[in-house]
Each structure stands twice: as C-alpha cells, then as structure tokens.
Chains A and B, each alone.
Chain A
Amino acid sequence: MAAAPAGFWSSTRFRGVLYQVMVVAAVVALGGWLVHNTLVNLEIRGIATGFGFLAREAGFGISESWISYSPADSYARALVVGLLNTMVVSAIGIVLATVLGTVVGVARLSGNWLVGKLATLYVEALRNVPLLLQLFVWYGVLTALPGARQALHPLPGIFLSNRGLVIPSLDWSQGWLPAMEIPRLVGFNFIGGLTLSPEFAALLAGLTIYTAAFIAEIVRAGILAVPKGQTEAALSLGLSRGQILRLVVLPQALRVIIPPLTSQYLNIAKNSPLAIAIGYPDLVAVSNTAINQTGQAVEGVALVMAVFLGLSLTLSALMNWYNKRVALVTR
C-alpha cells in the first residue's frame, strides 16, 4: 500500500463522505427546526394535526362538479371534486391547445406572407402577456355578455351568454350510437346540451389560447429542424404533399417536438390553479377553502403538492413513453 503521509483526511473519498454528512446534517437540522417551530405554533393556535379532517363534513358548496356533491359530504369528496375539475380543464385544454398551436405553428411557416404575419402577431402578442391577465380579460368578457334571452348564437347549437357557453352534447342513453342533443332556448333557460360555466369557459379559453402560442413555436421549430433535403428527396420519389407531411416530415419533426411539448402540457396542468382568481373550483381553490375552515394549512398544502406531483409524473411518464416510440432508433 502506498504511503499516505497526509492520512486519510485528505483522501477524496473521505472528504466526499464528510461533505455529504455535513450537508445532510445541515438539511436535517433546518428541517427539524422548521418542523419544531411549526408544531409549537400549531399548538399555540390550537390547530389539530393529521389527516383526520378529511373524513369530516365539509359544509361548503362547490359551484360545479362532475360527480354528485353536497355540503354534507366529506372534505375528501370535496377535494376529489376539485381534482376532477382540475383534470377535466387540463385535459380539454391540452387537446385544444395542441390543435390550435399546430395550426398557428404551421401558419407561421406558410408561404403566404399575410397568414405568416398574422400567426406571428398571435404568438408574440399572447406569449408576452401574463396568463392571469388574459384570464381576467376572458372572464370579464364572458360575464359582460348579454343574458340568456339575447344570447349570442354564432353557430347552430352554440349559445354564448353571461350564463356561460352552451354546446351540443352526446346522449349515450339511446342504444349504441350516441344521439346529438342540440340545446334550445326556451324562455329564460337552455334545454338540453351541455352548459359550461363562464368560469370554466374563461379558464379553458385562457389556458388554450396562451399555451397554443408556445406550442406554435415548438411545432415551428420542429418542422424547421427537418432538413430541406428530406422534403426534396420525398418529392423526387414522387410522394404527394400529404404523404410527404405524413410519412417524412412529421415523424422526424415529432422527435424534436415531443420533449418541449411535454413541458407545455405540464404547464397547462400547473397553470390551471390560476382558476382560483376567477372562481373556478379547482383542486387548489377547494383545498384553500378547506384550509381556511380547518386551519390545517400544512396538510392541505402537502396534499395539493402531492397530487400535482403525481399528475406531473404521470403525464411526463406517458409522454416519455410516447417519445420512446417516436425516437430515432440508432444502431
């Protein structure tokens, strides 16, 4: 063994262990101090700890819900209602933003000067203004609309009024094929169809329109990343325009598009709690009400963070799986 006069003190390995022990000890000490302070503060304020409150009666109403809910239900059920609201608005937002973003992204590359400039205007104007501000505008516009009697009627079966957006819905009760249920205005009310509240519609519009600006840039970069030679080669093989896009350009562009697209999808989910500013009862809004009523801020915030972490990880796992499928197979 080689002599080590300086002793094991100077060995990289020992120092590595030492540093790690020091850092971990510091983090544990800080954490312990915070936990201790929190426990002391909670005791002084007489706030209970633990998740027992989840089973208690919530006692507050929620304006919209995809499952049956009443104030007599438990906090746990109220939180599930909020979670479902978050998931519904995020999922629809992801689909719509992808469609709109792709259209705008392709339009930016269009050979048509006017269309390209309009798409650029869209992207620059919307991505440089905070989403929350856009939400306030959409919500203001939707609630300033005329009442049901004078509802705007842009397309057959679609009504826009200060009650929200009424769209045709699918009725699955009649056998195998769903029947389209067209809403009608009868007196002061809409009969049939699906009514989306102004809060939901504003949040969905805001998330979709804002995120689409970012997705447009991602799609554009993805398409530009495919070398021109690929299109020319496909043309010389005699493929049609549609075939070139479907068989040559898109599969290669997707490889560049998927990873940043994943983070935009995550952004939609993580931006959905801005709902609280316009009164849509998403998970964060419901948990805030619960926190205000029970005072159990630590549990409430921890629960929300855990759920979002779970959602984020699931979504990115799904997208990573899809990314693997489209990834370039190299030998």
Chain B
Amino acid sequence: MNPSSWIKANLFNSPVNSLLTVLALALLGQVVPPLVDWAVVRASWGPGDPETCRRAGGACWTLLTEKHRLMLFGVYPYDQHWRPLLAMALFVALLAVSANRRFWRPWLGGAWLLTVVVIGILMWGGVLGLVPVETSQWGGLPLTLVIAVLAIAMAFPFSILLALGRRSELPAIKALSVGYIELVRGVPLVSVLFMASVMFPLFLPEGITIDKVLRALVGMTLFTAAYLAEAVRGGLQAIPKGQFEAADALGLSYWQGMRLIVLPQALRLVIPPIVNQFITCFKDTSLVTIVGLYDLLAATKAALNDPGWRPFFVEGYLAAAAVYFCFCFFMSRYSQWLERELAKGTR
C-alpha cells in the first residue's frame, strides 16, 4: 500500500475519523514541540550543579549525572557500589537465561539458588574479604529487586498450599485457606506493611528483634501469596476432574497425585497470570518507601531532597519511572509471548 492510500484508509476513512485525526494532530502539535525543546534542545547534559540547569532552562539531565549513584544504590557505601552492581548484572543475566524455554531444565533451579547465595554474599559481605554491609544500608534498585524476587519466590510455595487448601474437601482446611485469602485480599498493602513494621516486633518473644528489610519482605510475601493463590486456583479449576480421578485410580497418594499429575498441568496454564502478579509485586515494592526503606523510589526521593535539585523532581522521577517501566514492560511482553508459546502445543 502506498503512503497516501494508507493515510486515507487509517486516518481519514470517515468524517468522524478525519475530525479525530485533526484533533489528535493539533494536540500533538501543542505538546510535542515544547516537550522536545525542554527535553533535548534546552536541556543541560553532563556534570554540573543546579545553577547550570537553571541557566539552561530546560530538562536537567545533569541531575542524573550527579545523582545517579545515590538513586541506584541508595545509602550503600559509596566505594562498595561495584558489589550491588555486579549482583544486579548477575540477576539480569539469569533472568535473561530463564526467559528462554530451552533452558527450562532442573539445573535452572540450582542456578537460581546459587545466584541468590552469591547475591547475598555480595550484598552482605563479611566473607571473602568483603566489608560487611548492614541491610539498613541497602538501597536503590538492588533492594527493590531483592524484595521483589524473594517475596515472589517465598510466596509461590505458600500460595500453592493455599490454593490446594481452598480446593480441599476438608472443611476446616478449606475455611482456613478461604479466610486467609479473602482477609488479605480485602486489606491494602500499606496496612499489611505497617502491620509488618509495627506489629512484628510485638509478635516475637521479648529480646528478639527482626531486621527491617526482613519485616517488609515478610509483609510482601504474606500479601503476594494470597493473590498468587487465586491465580493458582484458576489453574487447578481448569484441570478436568478425570485427571484427579486417574491419579486416585493409579493408587497415588494425594500429594503424589498433585505433584506428578495435577500441578504440572495447572501451573503451566497459569504462567501468564503469575508473571502478571510478578509485575504487580515489582511495582508494589515501591510501597516499602512508606515504611522507611530506601528502595529505588525512596532513594530517588532522597536524591531530590537536596534543596538545590528539588525543582528538578520531574527529571528524577522520570528516570526512576524509566527503570520501572523497562522491567515491567519487558515482563508483560514476555508474558504475552509465553502465552502464545505455551498454547502452541494445544491447538
């Protein structure tokens, strides 16, 4: 199709559409030139101070040159930044490997376990000549990733138990599972995180304190598990009754039947919703800002607390948003691709 007939077919194919096109173009004409002028033409790049930006009069990308390490790593000791950086690189590399179906082999689980241990050693230090770093000094993107990944990893087995419990024929177990799932899904995450940060110290025996990061992590895990359980239940419900009966007929115990027959099929069905839950969990980690942890968002906010840089908050938040966007957009595209990929065998 040549350009002019394409334009006619897609932009001016009816009077209403022509009007819409003109309106949209007018809107773009209003918005785009000033935006380009701000973000590119008058922007200040490279090192400098707030005064440089004020003189330039446009976007202050100088802020990122000056503050990106604070935004990315929070209050982690400055000369040790290579450690969280290496940890993130390891994580992203493993994520890229796991995304490929060819590598879905048992060793991948082992690789994840090993990576988590290595990341733990890198972040904590204290061994192999690494300077120990308290969790209270962890911050920025590594903290966001640690909380998101561990919360999902710990919530997943718990959610399977909850989902099985909800589908159970034993009334007490069913009631407990339903009660837990509905209770947690009915309350805001902020409340759960507050409960975790304020009430966990009360729950534990006198004298035992638990780490602030760990508290937030437990809160995120308990919360995420309830939502994941609903996703898993969806998969369980989609498995025909005959499969359960066949497992019984083979003489398998309940757990054998679930492990060998039902769950492999059910979980495969719900991989896309689970990935979506992962995206939600990743975005929700930003709420730990409210209970005083220095995740990516809080670290960005801290970088903008400097009175000189404060007027350039839009640039700072845009940069943080871009990081969140990259992770979430990649995951959602991946989930769509995976859905098609998994459906191939069952057409």
Contact = CB atoms under 8 A, between A and B. Distances in A.
Contacts of B328: 127-129
Contacts of B205: 37, 40
Interface string B191-232: 100110011011111100000000000000000000000000
Contact of B332 (A112, A128, A312): A128
A309 B185 CA distance: 8
B191 to A, nearest CB: 5
Contacts of A309: 183, 186-187
24 contacts: A16-B170, A20-B170, A23-B176, A24-B176, A38-B202, A111-B14, A114-B20, A114-B25, A132-B287, A132-B289, A133-B321, A140-B313, A140-B317, A144-B313, A270-B188, A301-B195, A304-B191, A305-B183, A305-B186, A305-B191, A308-B188, A312-B185, A312-B187, A313-B186
B160 interface: no
A117 B286 CA distance: 29
A52 B195 CA distance: 21
Contacts of A150: none
Given A20-B171, A112-B11, A276-B290, A298 B199 contact: yes
Interface in B286-321: 286-287, 289-290, 297, 301, 311, 313-314, 317, 320-321
B251 to A, nearest CB: 13
Chain A binding surface SS class: helix
A132 B286 contact: yes
The number of chain B residues touching the other chain, given as a range, is 35 or more
A298 B191 CA distance: 12
Given A42-B202, A301-B194, A113 B10 contact: yes
**Best-surrounded residue of B21, B187, B290 (most CB of chain A within 10 A):** B187
Contact of A133 (B21, B190, B286, B311): B286
B329 interface: yes
Interface of B: 10-11, 13-14, 17, 20-21, 24-25, 169-173, 176, 183, 185-191, 194-195, 198-199, 201-206, 279, 283-284, 286-287, 289-290, 297, 301, 311, 313-314, 317, 320-321, 324-325, 328-329, 332
B195 A130 contact: no
A44 B206 contact: yes
B159 to A, nearest CB: 17
Contacts of B170: 16, 19-20
A188 B191 CA distance: 39
Contacts of A274: 190, 287, 290
Contacts of A118: 24
Contacts of A23: 172-173, 176
B87 to A, nearest CB: 22
Contacts of A272: 188
A298 B195 CA distance: 8
Contacts of B185: 312
Closest 5 pairs (CB-CB, A-B)? A128-B328, A113-B10, A130-B286, A20-B172, A309-B186
B140 to A, nearest CB: 14
A3 B290 CA distance: 64
A27 B172 CA distance: 11
A286 interface: no
Interface in A8-43: 16, 19-20, 23-24, 27, 34, 37-38, 40-42
Given A20-B173, A113-B10, A128-B283, 7 more contacts: A37-B206, A130-B283, A133-B320, A137-B313, A140-B317, A284-B190, A308-B188
Interface string A135-160: 01100110010000000000000000
